[in-house]
Amino acid sequence: MSLALIASLPFVAALTPALTQRFGRKIATLIVAAFTASALALILQHLPAIMAGEVVTTQINWLPNLGLNANFRLDGLTLLFALLILGIGLLIQTYACFYLDKSEPYARFLIYLMLFQGAMLGIILSDNILLLLVFWELTSLSSFLLIGFWSHLPQARQGARMALATTGAGGLAMIAGMMILGDIADSYDISTILTQKAAIQASPLYLPALILILLGAFTKSAQFPFHFWLPHAMAAPTPVSAYLHSATMVKAGLFLLARLWPVLSGTPEWFWIVTSAGLITMAFAAKVALFKDDLKAILAYSTVSHLGLITFLFGLGTKAAATAAIFHILCHATFKAALFMLAGIVDHATHTRDIKHLGGLRRAMPITFALASITSLSMAGIPPLNGFLSKEMMLEEAAHSAPWIIPLLATLAALLSVAYSLRFLSYTFLGAAPAYAHAPHDPGPGLWAPPALLAALVVAIGLAPMPMAAWLVDAAASATTAQPVHAHIALWHGLTSPALWMSLAAVGGGLAALGLYPALRRIWDASPKPQAKPIFDNCLSALTKIAQGITAVHNGSLSRGFVLALLSVLGLGLYAFQTAPHLPGSRALTPIALAPATGFALLMAATLAATILHRQRLLALLLVGIVGLILSASFAYLSAPDLALTQITVEVVTVALMLLCLNFLPKTSPRETVALRKIRDGAIAASLGIATAALAYALMLRDAVFPPISAFHLAQSLPGAGGHNAVNTIIVDFRGYDTYGEIIVLGIAALLIFALTESLLASKWAVGPDHVTGDAGDPHPIMLQTATRLILPMAMLVGTYLFLRGHNAPGGGFVAGLVFAIGLVMQYIASGQDWAAARRRIPFHAMIGAGVLIASATGIGSFIAGRPFLTSNYTHVHLPPFEDFELATAALFDLGVFLCVFGAVMLALDALARLAKSNAQAQRTETT
């Protein structure tokens, strides 16, 4: 369970900022950092096993028949990404605490940040592709919130929409690809998929699956032509840019390439698609980065270029290239996260990120200058820093690749990276200082310490790569390639290494490009350049128009929507009936007695009368109540006493609540004016009614093709759940999760009614005189008051009896809650809201909350016992002088159901009663 705990810690941490923000942002940061550090410590606990080549797994069966299991996996590749996500996450949390202005909603920022951290951890730890897809989409949603954190800025909103649209579209394609991949491998577990290389690559569906999966990876990792969203995402606060777009989110696509490398790589399709995308992205983005003036824009396009470099290496399909890609993931995260934080420091100090208005900061900000020198030179690939080592490994692999265009483009991209890195450094910190509005200076250690730690790693890995990084690279590369890897990382490989000469050419060319920059800039400014934002906006506008054209038939009319939906159902049903084979009916008709036939005739008559007389609302409500009562009798006649009890109590409560609602409606509903519409609607309703009746008739005459699950429930009701009443054991045990969701929805509905009435009461809303239903006479007749005083204890006694017997006989928490509610509803009707509210001791909100908490605690208790959520247990107890009786944990869950149902009904009733009282007072005021 340790891996599941690690995956859940950031989500738990996301709950804390709202509670701790009152103690200051440092305390709030310290608490979320403690969760991140705990997750990191739990990861490091498995370090010896991972270094020994083991794979740590946690398996939680969720929906095994559908292949959806909450399985988690920790190997060398996961270890590398976990260290980046959690280690850099700790630094970003520290940096953000001092970076964001005091007026910013810092708690909201931390919540978004921890949601994103949890989503990234979920991606890398998932050992099931369906679970991975859930976390994948969560990264898109949480990054949307982080990029648009400064929602008052149009560019932030635009960047967030662009990122969500692009990565979301790619995610949809990836879902399809992953489903195909799982179908080919006959499993959705990644551990199993990684063993099916031969079957996957031999399948005719390999290419469609590959393309769809790569679309998801390329959009997430900003590969050409999907690169445009990443620079626009730089409108986010600098901590977001440093975390999402250098160390984590954009690396999710690279993680996917690495995770599926053993089964997808090694084919010509993989080589040409992945290598081409990486090479084009690497060279194109490096060229654009050279001519950007915003510090974060330079870093954004350089990030895209380096992501292309890593993608290119994975595309080559060799073990050495994959090892180089893994190493560069580590190196890039260290120097790029630091550079983004340093860019934020410069922005804080000078109030500008425009490189044309910067310069000469080396004297005013010596600490920042020193850190920027180390990290930007590492980005340029200058020895003895870690960026040089990984660049050399990349060039070495490119030199041995064919055709010749591959090493040429790789060298060109390296050349451009030298040029834009040196421009970033020299134009910001060297030269003459312009006239700054405020004297810039180094910030406190809260801002420069996080990038300083990363810069120290840049130097340490560069000077001592084997002890500092080789162990981690070996473990990650071994997990990626499914082969043992023992990388030799060194600063010097001899004069015969082609990478040395390619690197020298890149450095020399980069220096020359920097010297010729003014001339190159004039050429760049004069050349035509397509802009990504207008293209994206035009594409989005075209898609919107197409969608509007398709959905133009939906104009907001509820009746039109019903007509289209019902006609579609009718048409599809008729098509199925016409084209599908039919089994002959094998069951004889059951004779029916006069009494039930009379009841069913009355049911149809009441239904028809409610349809014809629907304009008279009170009469229609009474007819609906009659329909419900006849249905209750029908359930009892058909041997379904639980349904009969539930139906009759629901009808009583519903009619009482609807009678209150009638206070706010006219006596009659509007009259339809078009006779043709009535004929149309009548024909559709009659056709569907006849079709539904025919379908039910046909099904009842035939035996089931598949054995019904009811046999299982009946057989397992007593031995599996300890109850004789199969209906109740289904509700509280076999399908307890459904009931759990239903009571939560019911509670939310009641709270929404309460919130709506509160807003209406606060606005002093009242129904106008046209809605007055007439003088009701004595509102509290003495006979009704006396009768209801006697009814209440009897209702509670009956409700308690139904609750206690529900596990073995008709009854249960749901019915008991409704019976209790009926007893109190009668008090409201007889004595009024004021009288009833004055005697209420427990708020109905608390009842709903207590019900949900008790039901949740019952389910969590199952988890603690190592059983699936809401699995019940039971035992028999003998207490003299009583007979043996049963104690079941399902009774606690049923108690939660009881409290939630009772509280929801009474909260809705009380809210409507208070609204009716306010309405009556308003009417009396208008009359006087």
If asked whether residues 285 and 411 sit together in one domain, one would say yes
Residue 385 zone, left/alpha/beta (φ > 0; ψ -120 to 50; rest): beta
Q: Name, in order, each residue with C-beta under 8 angstroms of 75's C-beta and a sequence gap of 6 or more.
A: 50, 55, 56, 475, 479
Whole-angstrom distance, CA of residue 474 vs CA of residue 491: 18
What is the model's pLDDT at position 69? 81
Q: Please indicate, yes or no, if residue 19 is contained in any of the structural domains.
A: no
If asked whether residues 367 and 434 sit together in one domain, one would say yes
Whole-angstrom distance, CA of residue 611 vs CA of residue 176: 46
Low-confidence ranges of the chain (pLDDT < 50): 766-777
The model carries a pTM of: 0.73
Q: Please indicate, yes or no, if residue 190 is contained in any of the structural domains.
A: no
Q: Are 219 and 253 in contact (CB under 8 A)?
A: yes
If asked whether residues 404 and 309 sit together in one domain, one would say yes
What is the model's pLDDT at position 775? 43
What is the Rg, in whole angstroms, of the alpha carbon atoms belonging to the chain?
35
CB half-sphere exposure, 639, CA atoms < 13 A: 2
Domain boundaries, position 484: 271-517
If asked whether residues 291 and 410 sit together in one domain, one would say yes
Q: Please indicate, yes or no, if residue 425 is contained in any of the structural domains.
A: yes
DSSP state of 553: T
Whole-angstrom distance, CA of residue 9 vs CA of residue 784: 57
Q: Name, in order, each residue with C-beta under 8 angstroms of 659's C-beta and a sequence gap of 6 or more.
A: 621
At residue 617, the 3 state secondary structure works out as helix
Q: Please indicate, yes or no, if residue 252 is contained in any of the structural domains.
A: no
If asked whether residues 660 and 769 sit together in one domain, one would say no
If asked whether residues 381 and 466 sit together in one domain, one would say yes
If asked whether residues 665 and 723 sit together in one domain, one would say no
- Number of neighbouring beta carbons within 10 Å of residue 885: 10
Final residue before a domain boundary, out of 489, 517, 545: 517
Whole-angstrom distance, CA of residue 845 vs CA of residue 903: 7
Q: Name, in order, each residue with C-beta under 8 angstroms of 290's C-beta and a sequence gap of 6 or more.
A: 416, 419, 420, 423, 513, 517, 520
What is the model's pLDDT at position 1? 53
If asked whether residues 653 and 726 sit together in one domain, one would say no
What is the model's pLDDT at position 472? 92
Q: Please indicate, yes or no, if residue 138 is contained in any of the structural domains.
A: no
Q: Please indicate, yes or no, if residue 761 is contained in any of the structural domains.
A: yes
Final residue before a domain boundary, out of 465, 485, 517: 517
Helix H, strand E, coil C: the string for 230-270 is HHHHHHCCHHHHHHHCCCCHHHHHHHHHHHCHHHHCCCHHH
If asked whether residues 357 and 476 sit together in one domain, one would say yes
Give the number of domains in the chain. Answer: 3
If asked whether residues 778 and 855 sit together in one domain, one would say yes
Q: Residue 223 phi/psi, 5° resolution?
A: -85, 150
Share of the chain above pLDDT 70, in %: 95
If asked whether residues 652 and 747 sit together in one domain, one would say no
If asked whether residues 627 and 728 sit together in one domain, one would say no
Whole-angstrom distance, CA of residue 242 vs CA of residue 92: 8
What is the model's pLDDT at position 181? 93
What is the model's pLDDT at position 327? 93
Final residue before a domain boundary, out of 498, 517, 536: 517
